[in-house]
């Protein structure tokens, strides 16, 4: 610790003395350069341009039909374009892409957060890649009534400078269709230390992707089957749909500042393989809550631990937004899968269409009380033995 702060101080002094070197600095957590597309192109925004011509987008390279769009703008069909943040965003036409190079730390894992909206009712998807990593994000499901959502994907940096590429792989008949993207941020992920009394990594979901303070929609985490490279360290998002990463600024979170809301029914599963000792009895405990987002009850989760599966209904309580649930299981192997999904497909009571669901937080796997009782019993036996000796003496 002391060593690393000394190094930091040296780096800081170094940057003070040689300010031009700071341009080589690693990408900081937060918005990438012109990640919100609000920077003015040298030839002006297209809405104010006199002459037609390719739009230059500061800090980005473009390929194909990439347009800067403004909030309030309409397409030919009269449909209002959705701009997720601020007043500008980009729309990617068929096969179009935008990219920029980001400076990262080779070998580290990063999460990329971005907001996306679809423009047409047809199937739209977006490919986000940092070669060789590449992930397609399906924009077909509308998770909320505002028509856009923040998403996060992750990658492991194989070089110190990597291209971050957003590409519309779709082939729509209407050239005015195509996903709109905005608010692109990056965050270096840290794998949390493993506590001694809990086998679950990132048990409270406090380590995760970048979240914008002013965005109240949480961040959707699409399918990610690779536990080594997950925007939510330690966890995988299984099956076809996303789960929502939520923050305590905008939602009721049982513990700390972050939690997960299971918004996709049985199609959005979070899981983790935890280290266990075969034949030992364990307890899986977790907080089951209501996000405070007007989600229509009943809320329930199915919790899996090894070969056990149990469903828990959230019981509204005026004193608390969550309750603690537990499942006992006997480990069969060195690693045991724990997983959660929402039993119901819930929507909000106010708009009847935004997806929502039960909140899961503070997940713990520990030796069950039964084994702890054994320990206590042994301790008790030991104590009475010494007491007996004392009496004898
Ligand atoms: Ca938490």
Residues 211 and 118 in one domain: no
Calculate what percentage of the chain has a pLDDT beyond 70: 85
- Using alpha carbons only, how large is the chain's radius of gyration in Å? 25
* 76-85, 95-104, 114-123, 379-388, range with the lowest pLDDT: 379-388
Ligand 1 center to 257 CA (angstroms): 5
What b/e readout covers 329-361, taking b as 16+ CB neighbours within 10 angstroms?
A: bbbeeeebebbbbbbbebbbeeeeebbbbbbbb
CATH number for the domain spanning 109: value is 2.60.120.260
pLDDT at 144: 87
Ligand 1 center to 287 CA (angstroms): 9
Last residue of a domain, one of 125, 150, 182: 182
In a domain, 277, yes or no: yes
Residues 132 and 236 in one domain: no
Residues 93 and 174 in one domain: yes
Q: How large is the average pLDDT for residues 212-232?
A: 91
The DSSP secondary structure of 23-44, one letter per residue, reads GGSPPPSEEPTTTTS-SPPTT-
Last residue of a domain, one of 182, 200, 223: 182
Ligand 1 center to 205 CA (angstroms): 5
In a domain, 374, yes or no: yes
| Res 52 pLDDT > 70 | no
Ligand 1 center to 184 CA (angstroms): 24
Residues 158 and 195 in one domain: no
Name the pLDDT band for 351 (thresholds 50, 70, 90). very high
* 54-58, 147-151, 203-207, 286-290, range with the lowest pLDDT: 54-58
Give this prediction's pTM.
0.86
Q: How large is the average pLDDT for residues 289-308?
A: 97
Q: How large is the average pLDDT for residues 13-29?
A: 57
60/146: higher pLDDT: 60
In a domain, 10, yes or no: no
In a domain, 3, yes or no: no
Q: How large is the average pLDDT for residues 6-35?
A: 65
In a domain, 22, yes or no: no
Contacts of 61 (CB under 8 A, 6+ apart): 98, 99, 100
Residues 47 and 113 in one domain: yes
Distance CA 202, CA 234 (A): 6
Ligand 1 center to 61 CA (angstroms): 38
Name the pLDDT band for 384 (thresholds 50, 70, 90). confident
Residues 124 and 219 in one domain: no
- pLDDT of 107-117, one tens digit each? 999 999 999 99
Task: Show the domain range for 169.
Answer: 27-182
In a domain, 70, yes or no: yes
Ligand 1 center to 118 CA (angstroms): 31
Ligand 1 center to 342 CA (angstroms): 18
Residues 239 and 274 in one domain: yes
Ligand 1 center to 364 CA (angstroms): 12
Tokens read off for 280: 């030992």
| Res 25 pLDDT > 90 | no
Handedness of CA 277, 278, 280, 282 (dihedral sign): positive
- pLDDT of 158-196, one tens digit each? 999 999 999 998 777 777 788 999 999 999 999 888 888
How many structural domains compose the chain?
A: 2
Last residue of a domain, one of 182, 209, 233: 182
Residues 127 and 197 in one domain: no
Name the pLDDT band for 381 (thresholds 50, 70, 90). low
Distance CA 298, CA 309 (A): 19
In a domain, 252, yes or no: yes
Residues 208 and 349 in one domain: yes
Pairing state between β 281-289 and 322-330: antiparallel
| Res 268 pLDDT > 50 | yes
Residues 166 and 290 in one domain: no
Q: What is the mean pLDDT of the chain?
A: 87
pLDDT at 371: 54
Residues 153 and 200 in one domain: no
Backbone angles phi, psi at 366, to 5 degrees: -145, 170
> Please, are residues 216 and 145 in contact by the beta-carbon 8 Å criterion?
no
Tokens 């580290």 sit at which residue?
108
In a domain, 95, yes or no: yes
Residues 176 and 316 in one domain: no
């Amino acid at each position: 610790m002391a060593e690393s702060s000394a190094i930091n101080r040296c780096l800081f002094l170094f940057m003070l003395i040689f300010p031009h070197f700071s341009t080589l600095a690693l990408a900081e957590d937060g918005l990438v350069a012109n990640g919100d597309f609000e920077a003015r192109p040298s030839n002006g925004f297209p809405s104010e341009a006199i002459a037609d011509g390719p739009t230059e987008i500061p800090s980005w390279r473009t390929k194909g039909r990439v347009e800067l769009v403004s909030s309030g703008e309409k397409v030919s069909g009269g449909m209002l374009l959705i701009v997720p943040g601020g007043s500008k965003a980009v729309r990617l036409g068929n096969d179009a892409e935008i990219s920029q190079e980001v400076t990262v730390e080779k070998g580290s894992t990063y999460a990329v957060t971005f907001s996306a909206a679809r423009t047409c009712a047809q199937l739209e998807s977006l490919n986000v890649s940092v070669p060789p990593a590449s992930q397609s994000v399906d924009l077909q499901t509308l998770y909320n009534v505002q028509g856009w959502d923040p998403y996060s994907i992750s990658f492991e940096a194989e070089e110190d400078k990597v291209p971050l590429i957003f590409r519309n792989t779709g082939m729509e008949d209407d050239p005015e269709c195509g996903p709109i993207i905005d608010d692109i941020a990056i965050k270096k992920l840290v794998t949390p230390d493993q506590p001694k009394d809990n086998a679950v990594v990132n048990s409270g979901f406090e380590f995760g992707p970048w979240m914008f303070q002013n965005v109240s929609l949480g961040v959707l985490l699409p399918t990610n089957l690779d536990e080594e490279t997950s925007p939510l360290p330690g966890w995988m998002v299984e099956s076809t749909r996303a789960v929502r990463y939520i923050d305590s600024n905008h939602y009721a979170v049982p513990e700390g500042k972050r939690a997960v809301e299971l918004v996709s029914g049985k199609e959005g599963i979070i899981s983790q393989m935890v280290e266990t000792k075969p034949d030992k009895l364990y307890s899986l405990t977790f907080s089951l809550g209501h996000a405070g987002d007007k989600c229509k009850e009943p809320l329930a989760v199915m919790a899996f631990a090894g070969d056990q599966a149990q469903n828990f209904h959230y019981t509204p309580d005026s004193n608390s937004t969550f309750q603690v649930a537990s499942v006992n299981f006997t480990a069969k192997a060195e690693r045991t899968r724990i997983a959660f999904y929402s039993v119901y497909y819930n929507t909000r009571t106010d708009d009847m269409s935004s997806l929502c669901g039960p909140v899961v937080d503070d997940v713990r796997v520990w030796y069950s009380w039964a084994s702890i009782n054994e320990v206590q019993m042994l301790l008790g036996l030991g104590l009475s033995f010494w007491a007996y000796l004392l009496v004898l003496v």
